[in-house]
Amino acid sequence: MKPICRSAFLTRSVLLAALCTASVACVDGPENGDVFLGVPAGTTINFAGKFNAGSETIRVQVLADPDDENDPDYENWVTLETTTSASTPTDQGFGEWYEWSVNATPVPSSPTSTESARWPEGGLLRFRVVDDIGSAFATFDQDRLDCYQTVGMRQLTTEEDENWIALGEECKSNWIQAVLVNASKTPTDLEDTPAYLSHIEENGVGSPEDTAEYYDEIDAPASLTAFKTRFGFGAAGSDEVSAVYYNAGDLGIGREMNCKSYNPYPTNPTHPNTGVACFVSNYDDDVNDNANVFGADPIDSLANTVSGLYSGVHSGAFATVAMWYIPPITADDSVRFAVYGPGPNYLLQPDAQLDSKGYNKGIPQNCIVCHGGARYNTLNDSVDGGGARFLPFDLSAFEFSTASGFTRAAQEEKFRKLNKLVLQAGPTAATQELIEGWYAAGSVSTVGTVQNNAFIPPGWTGNKADEKIYSAVIAPYCRGCHAAQSNSFYNFADKDDFQTWGNIGYIEADVCTVGLDPAKNHVMPNAEVTLDRFWKSPARAYLAGYFDIKSSCKP
């Protein structure tokens, strides 16, 4: 039998058609999770797909009002357009179907309030396509081509239609009611934004006076130069490692990371515990301005970071953050934080702004929001034992320079060494599982092992809906901080923990709920850059289907 096509030569349109024909009826597009940047009013969308019979009535419908409390079961659907399937079939060798297509405008250009409710600015639109008896067509997620590449790299022949059927079943969306995302407005665009880096309310936001007391308690080196000297940076024969990247996942800045191990008990050279110390100099896209910019241009930020590294004195860095671990992890202040200002003096700073608003500039309060979720005890100016942690180096959350020596490939070995050091710094079980999973092809201790960003923890495997939520929601927008949370309830390392009643309630409220206090609306993800990226992605659509969220999830 002669193969009709190979995966490398399938055009997008033919491939999508082939996957679509695996179902009795399906929607080629739009896809579940598609993101629209323009305002909903006046946005016209082409709805198209395949049906198994010709000249049949097909209706495109949208939910009348996702926020209608009187429609909790989502029964009030509005038909936007009616069309019919083609009278003659199309066959490209892997199935016969009847095409259909129609343009529809969910919200007219000059809408009434009732029409606007279908798809608020920045909100979610639910749509479905049904036949004449009301049966809903299958839909696909916006990454279905990735699904094909993952599970469908096979040769298919005219005699193997069952392979296409199996592949279509594997790659179709888990949810019949497809969701479109509008990203014309996000919570970061509001005048009253969420209170970034402030979700641990009991810690407060600190003050310069609080920071000074904390620095005194942890004996913070007075300058970056003193920090390097104390922990032996630049000393011959150490395991010091440096890497350069753009942290696209949360802060949106260039970073020059430097880490090493050290002996935290110099008077006892045979002590079995090893400490870890790091400092990271931060760069935005303009070294000549006086204000640090988060979410800065990655190309310019990386260029400035590389230049800063080559300068030998972090020239152009707007701040440097230092962390060091003194074992055991269960002791108070086992992980410590300090922030140093720009050169030439690089002195300790009384605060650190990590977003455009600066709601929480206190040190260590703004650090431990992500680095462990710890409680800060103002009675003794200490972070509770076991509550602060190092974060793993997740290369899928980074962007890299194209300069020689600073690409991802050129730095893979450096990041392996950095993650090995994280494992020496008292990581949470979730962080340890993550790092070991990334490097399962060899070992994080084995030279040359490359990080595998497709790794999904065992607690999330076995069900494609769970795996989709992990890879498309948790990994890019939650994992960076949650894996390091000292309270395992918030680690999201297992789908069963994620799906508990308490977490579902928290997640829906923290992502979508709009209450009376703007500071507490849409507080997750809790970092400004991450929140903006999350709202401009398919993630809310997938969460809405996964948890059956009854909301337009508007800003």
| 155-180 pLDDT tens trace | 444 445 555 566 666 777 777 679 99
DSSP string, 483-512: TT-SSGGGS--SHHHHTSHHHHHHHHHHHH
DSSP string, 331-374: STTSEEEEEE--TTT-BB-S----SSS-S---TTHHHHTTTT-P
Tokens encoding 408: 């991802």
* pLDDT digit string, tens, across residues 313-363: 999 999 999 999 999 999 999 999 999 999 899 999 999 999 888 889 999
CB neighbourhood size of 420 (10 A)? 21
* pLDDT averaged over every residue in the chain: 89
Tokens encoding 66: 């996702």
* pLDDT digit string, tens, across residues 439-476: 999 899 999 999 999 999 999 999 889 999 999 999 99
Contact 368, 384 (CB under 8 A): no
Taking the alpha carbons at both ends of the chain, their separation in whole angstroms is: 55
Q: What number is the average pLDDT over the span 26-54?
A: 94
- Helix then strand then coil, % of the chain, to nearest 5: 30, 20, 50
Nearest to 367 by CA among 255, 479, 205: 205
CB neighbourhood size of 548 (10 A)? 12
pLDDT at 11 over 60: no
pLDDT at 66 over 60: yes
Specify the pLDDT at position 158.
42
pLDDT at 23 over 80: no
The percentage of the chain sitting over the pLDDT mark of 70, rounded to a whole number, equals 90
Specify the pLDDT at position 155.
41
Helix axes 429-438, 408-423, angle to 10 degrees: 150
The percentage of the chain sitting over the pLDDT mark of 90, rounded to a whole number, equals 68
Q: What number is the average pLDDT over the span 180-190?
A: 96
Q: How confident is the model at residue 22 (pLDDT cuts 50, 70, 90)?
A: low
Q: How confident is the model at residue 197 (pLDDT cuts 50, 70, 90)?
A: confident
Q: How confident is the model at residue 205 (pLDDT cuts 50, 70, 90)?
A: confident
Specify the pLDDT at position 511.
93
* pLDDT digit string, tens, across residues 395-413: 999 999 999 999 999 999 9
pLDDT at 13 over 90: no
pLDDT at 1 over 70: no
* pLDDT digit string, tens, across residues 501-548: 667 778 888 999 888 788 888 999 999 999 999 999 999 999 999 998
Q: Pairing relation of β-strands 35-36 and 178-182?
A: parallel
Q: What number is the average pLDDT over the span 46-51?
A: 94
pLDDT at 257 over 80: yes
